[in-house]
Structure 1
Amino acid sequence: MIRLPDASGALRPHEPRSEPALPTPQGSPPTSRIVFSAAHVVADPFADTTPDGPAAVDWDATLAFRRHLWSHGLGVAEAMDTAQRGMGLDWAGAAELIRRSGAEARSVGGRVACGVGTDQLHAPPGLEGVLTLDAVRKAYEEQLAVVEETGSQAILMASRALAATARGPEDYAELYGHLLRQATEPVILHWLGPMFDPALRGYWGSEDLDRATHTFLDIIAAHPDKVDGVKVSLLDAEREVALRRRLPEGVRCYTGDDFHYPELIAGDDQGFSHALLGIFDPLGPVAADAVRTLDTGDVAGFRARLDPTVPLSRHLFQAPTRFYKTGVVFLAWLAGHQAHFTMVGGLQSARSLPHLARAYELADGLGLFPDPGLAESRMRQLLATYGVEA
């Protein structure tokens, strides 16, 4: 038995599981849905750096985690916000991650798609308007070239610089049209909502989501042969379904909704969403197993496997949502995928002890830890650091 703290400081008892409830790796990917896990990076705990210094990554542990995901048949969505793009991982680190992950994917036959953004651009706070659309375009082009050189699929991420610079929907249409025309292969367009990044408020030229959706769909309709799919991260299931039904034939919807993913992946009689999710970092084996159940046509079995994971996901992604990465890395440490709970930029401090304790409790209840005893021991280590006698 271990005692876990709540927000009031009171300790509650929790009886850890004695056995995990994880499927064995299958290797081949699911067939009915394309499933990407947006993977985190493992920081180098021995690097002498600061929160605002360059990222220091433990490359061996980072790539080992990707091999773990590939072993279960999942695709890896690389250098996305889960990897702390714009929250500790700079462009130099992201570019190296893309190159290393692309090479590793080729060596093991894994699927990888990589984020393309503009985070090499810098402007003093409050002076983002000094950036130009031409500078934003060139930044996107530089990153797109790096991704395409690795042979990876490109994910055109939402850009803080573009959000600060664009004058309206026409600037988005012009810039994205330019990028899509020059892309070698069809890309995934990523719409990341302000709950994940407040700097992206008003993306696509309007804070009115109906108008923003109209612009987004117009861009896709003008270049359907260059858009493999769209990743929608708005945490609004009804809006995602409505958008999904309006996509041109052949353009996929990849859900990025970490609150409603079971129902969106299961779909309805008019379609379904594929998946590109940060929650599938800690849930990778369970997610792959659930979608394989869906491959057989067993929707009820799929929901029975995945629905119980939603409380954990909603806990990790609770507001302020952008700090969900802390819980993701915490669970990776408890699960034994890395030897420490240190994050790029010191982000391990972004969630409270009661939040982390509840994450442990929920994950343990789901049987997510390959070695429950190790997870319990590490949870006790963290509690002791905070002065809690568990």
Structure 2
Amino acid sequence: MPLTIKLPNSSGGIENYTVANMPLPAPDKTAPRSFNRVAYSAAHVVVNPLADDNPWVDQSFDWERTIAFRHYLWDLGLGVAEAMDTAQRGMGLNWAGAKELIRHSLAAAKSRPDALIACGIGTDHLVPGAEVTVDDVIQAYEEQAEFVEGLGGRLIMMASRALVAAAKTPEDYVRVYDRILRQAKEPVILHWLGEMFDPALDGYWGSRDHLAAMDVCVDIINLHAEKVDGVKISLLSAEKEITMRRRLVPGVRMYTGDDFNYAELIAGDERGYSHALLGIFDAIAPAASLALAELGAGNQAEFYEILAPTVPLSRHIFKAPTRFYKTGVVFLSYLNGLQDHFLMLGGQQSARSLVHLAELFRLADAARVLHDPEVAVERMRRVLAVGGVA
């Protein structure tokens, strides 16, 4: 019997929608992985819905479900990029909460030999201001790096709002990154997060011109190539990523952070390809796993056949204001039964409209990433009912 649900549309009306697609087959969790790309998923956190707190300001986690989600990603052959912006870092998750998250995740990773994990470090415990200096930024990075490395973790060096405020010239960025990279115990992944994800990072690397900023970033990476595993750029521009990818010295990976163009960037061209460190892989993990396995087997057509329908879904989840993409990621996790509620840190479940969530549902069906359509329809109805759509 067809599954039909009433969904709001962009015209302000309600229409019947019938689920049209069977979900993709679940990857075999026991089968060995043969990926030819390194693939990280930036993972979200699950809050404790029964905590008696102030949801806009307090942090209460459901550690069991949060860590279970990490095991779900590892079971699919994906790595975990921990305590990144997908985990609402800087938008609900502060450094104190990030430390607990990193501690729990690294402990879980030690329980299994196949667990790939790297952890975000930044300066989010340092409040930007006129009195903050570049040396303060260095010390803040050092504090977070020491914590992660003290637990045996590898580093993802996230962009710093405080550095944007404190830096006067590109040379200030060079000084900060030179100091942290020289001290790192293992090769680091750098993360250039564009202003579309975080407006406070506008002008990173000392220029609002992305190509001029790229010159600074590439020079830092190539100078410290032995200490750089790779760089993730999130500028939502395939052309800029390819340009930068071709400038990296051999051995330094480009990790695509482009949630609009990831399929073509991972597939690559005759001059190279990108690995992946993506927030959208949280939402489409089984599809990503199946597609990467096909690519590893040399089946590029099948890779595109699986991933191409997920791109419109990703573009919708990451539409402007892009920084609210976490809402769509967590909503899809709820629809797919990976958590029992649609609540987020800082009340961010309210950051997208019912019309946006309804379109997400349609696109998830088209991409075949609704794990159990009956469960997804019932949960979609619950959310709509709270919003007044009976």
TM-score (norm 2): 0.96
Residue of structure 2 in register with 1:225 after alignment: 226
3-state SS, counterpart of residue 366 of structure 2: helix
SS at match of 2:110: helix
Q: Is the 8 A contact 1:336 1:374 kept in 2?
A: yes
Instruction: Give the Cα–Cα distance (whole angstroms) in 2 for the partners of residues 107 and 5 of structure 1.
Output: 45
Tell me the distance in 1 between the aligned counterparts of 2:383 and 2:57.
25
1:380 paired with 2:381, answer yes
Within the candidate set 21, 28, 35, 2:24 is matched to 21
1:17 Cα deviation from its structure 2 partner: 4.9
Instruction: Give the Cα separation in 2 of the matches to 1:18 and 1:228.
Output: 39
How far apart are residue 52 of structure 1 and its match?
A: 4.5
Matching residue's letter, 1:250: G
Paired residues of 2:42 and 2:279 also in contact (CA < 8 A): yes
- Counterpart residue identity of residue 108, structure 1: R
Contact map agreement 2:41 2:80 (CA 8 A) in 1: yes
What SS is found at the alignment partner of 1:107?
coil
* Separation of aligned partners in 2, 1:242 and 1:30: 28
Corresponding residue to 2:45 among 41, 46, 69: 41
- What residue in structure 2 maps to residue 111 of structure 1? 116
**Identical residues among aligned pairs (%):** 57
Contact kept, 8 Å, 2:56 with 2:347, in 1: the verdict is no
Q: 1:25 to 1:129 in 2, by over 3 A?
A: farther
Question: Aligned Cα RMSD in Å?
Answer: 1.2
Kept after mapping to 2: 8 A contact 1:22/1:368: no
Is the CA contact 1:54–1:89 (under 8 Å) kept in the aligned structure 2?
no
Contact 1:17 1:367 (C-alpha < 8 Å) held by counterparts = no
Contact 2:41 2:78 (C-alpha < 8 Å) held by counterparts: yes
Contact 1:230 1:253 in 2 (8 A): yes
What letter corresponds to residue 115 of structure 1 in structure 2?
G
Paired residues of 1:229 and 1:251 also in contact (CA < 8 A): yes
Contact 1:31 1:295 in 2 (8 A): yes
Mapping of residues 62-141 of structure 1, within 5 Å:
62-109=66-113, 110-123=115-128, 128-141=129-142
Amino acid at match of 2:331: F
For residues 35-59 of structure 1, the C-alpha deviation after alignment (integer angstroms, 9 at most, x for no partner) is 0010000011122233542321111
Unaligned runs of 5+ in 1: none
**Aligned mates of 2:18, 2:138 — CA distance in 1:** 54
| Alpha-carbon distance, 1:296 to partner | 1.2
Aligned residue pairs: how many? Answer: 385
- After the TM superposition, list the runs of 4 or more consecutive aligned residues in structure 1 that deviate by more than 6 angstroms: none
State the shift of 1:275 in Å: 0.2
Summarize the alignment of residues 297-336 of structure 1 with structure 2, pairs less than 5 Å apart: 297-336=298-337
Whole-angstrom CA distance in 2 between matches of 1:7 and 1:132: 47
Of 199-208 and 22-31, deviating more is: 22-31
Q: Name 2:244's counterpart in structure 1.
A: 243
Aligned 1:203-282 pairs, distance under 5 A? 203-282=204-283
Between 149-158 and 346-355, the greater mean CA deviation after superposition: 149-158
Residue segments in structure 2 that go unaligned for 5+ positions in a row = none
Shift of 1:140: 0.5
Counterpart-to-counterpart distance in 2, 1:194 and 1:29: 35
- C-alpha contact (below 8 Å) 2:35/2:295 kept by paired residues: no
1:141-171 deviation digits (Å, cap 9, x = unpaired): 1111121122222100000111111111000
The farther-off stretch of 334-343 and 8-17 is 8-17
Stretch of structure 1 that moved more, 88-97 or 101-110: 101-110
The equivalent residue for 2:356 is 355
Secondary structure in 1 matching 2:97 = helix
Distance 2:212 2:74 in 1: 38
Contact 1:36 1:277 in 2 (8 A): yes
Deviation (angstroms), 1:132: 1.4
The question of whether the paired residues in 1 share the 8 Å contact of 2:232 and 2:257 is answered with yes
TM-score by length of 1: 0.96
Q: 1:307 to 1:19 in 2, by over 3 A?
A: closer
